[in-house]
Homo-oligomer: A and B are copies of this chain.
Amino acid sequence: MNIAILGGTGKEGAGLAMRWAQAGHSIIIGSRDAERARGKAAEMCAASKTKAITGDGNAAAAALGEIVVVALPATGLGATLPETREGCRGKVVVSTVVPLTFGGPRLFTPPAVGSSAEEVQSLLPEARVVAAFHHIAAHELADTEHPIECDLLLCGQDAKAKETVAELGRSLGLRPIDVGALTNAGPLEGITAVLATINRRYKLKNSGIKITGL
């Protein structure tokens, strides 16, 4: 699969890019700065020992991807996504965005619409948005020799889009679990606040979650 990762120069996006490249997918890293994306892509090819990662501006990357992954900061969605709307039309768009505010009175700070994934859907109304990959620690992704000890929880309106994302997860060795409609994205994004707090409190970098009884 051709996978565009908007915000792919960040830790989480870069970790997914390297894991997917090693699993045989082709990756286009998107950034506001196309040159920066190309430079990062070259570094990531070297680090992952593949030639499968290229870079471009966000709008060009979105147009090139068969699947588009939004790995942007929660506060940057409104500034970046409108220019990618045409490129995302009709496509599976994966939101990994987590609305966390560090250093404020409250860590989990979802937008009024309920979740960052629902904000992505409102900015890309023709996209088939699936919320997923919020819980896989960037540190866990970066250590590419090591299997990832975390379930893949995902939600969205479109069953076929969810199956495509589940397959992307299986290609990384993850167990996908369907958590219903996109209105459940807030609770999924909130779990990242739980894991971030556990990481800080117990001096970890890679806590994750597994569903039991399944």
The answer to whether A214 and B204 have CB atoms under 8 Å apart is yes
The answer to whether A194 and B212 have CB atoms under 8 Å apart is no
Q: Which residues of B contact A105 (CB under 8 A)?
A: 183
- Contact residues, A165-203 vs B (CB, 8 A): 177-180, 183-184, 186-188, 190-191, 193-195, 197-198, 200-202
Task: Check: A114 CB closer than 8 A to any chain B CB.
Answer: yes
Q: Which of A108, A150, A213 has the most CB of B within 10 A?
A: A213
The answer to whether B209 and A209 have CB atoms under 8 Å apart is yes
Task: Check: A149 CB closer than 8 A to any chain B CB.
Answer: yes
Taking the closest CB of chain B, its distance from the CB of A132, in whole angstroms, is 13
Bound CA–CA A198/B22 (angstroms): 31
Taking the closest CB of chain B, its distance from the CB of A139, in whole angstroms, is 9
The residues of A with any CB-CB pair to B shorter than 8 Å are 105-108, 114, 137, 140, 149-150, 153, 155, 177-180, 183-184, 186-188, 190-191, 193-195, 197-198, 200-202, 204, 206-214
Q: Known contacts A209-B212, A213-B149: does B179 contact A187 (CB below 8 Å)?
A: no
Taking a contact as CB atoms closer than 8 A, the residue among B179, B191, B202 that contacts A214 in the complex is B202
Taking a contact as CB atoms closer than 8 A, the residue among B193, B208, B210 that contacts A184 in the complex is B193
Taking a contact as CB atoms closer than 8 A, the residue among B108, B180, B184 that contacts A186 in the complex is B108
Q: Known contacts A186-B190, A214-B204: does B198 contact A177 (CB below 8 Å)?
A: yes
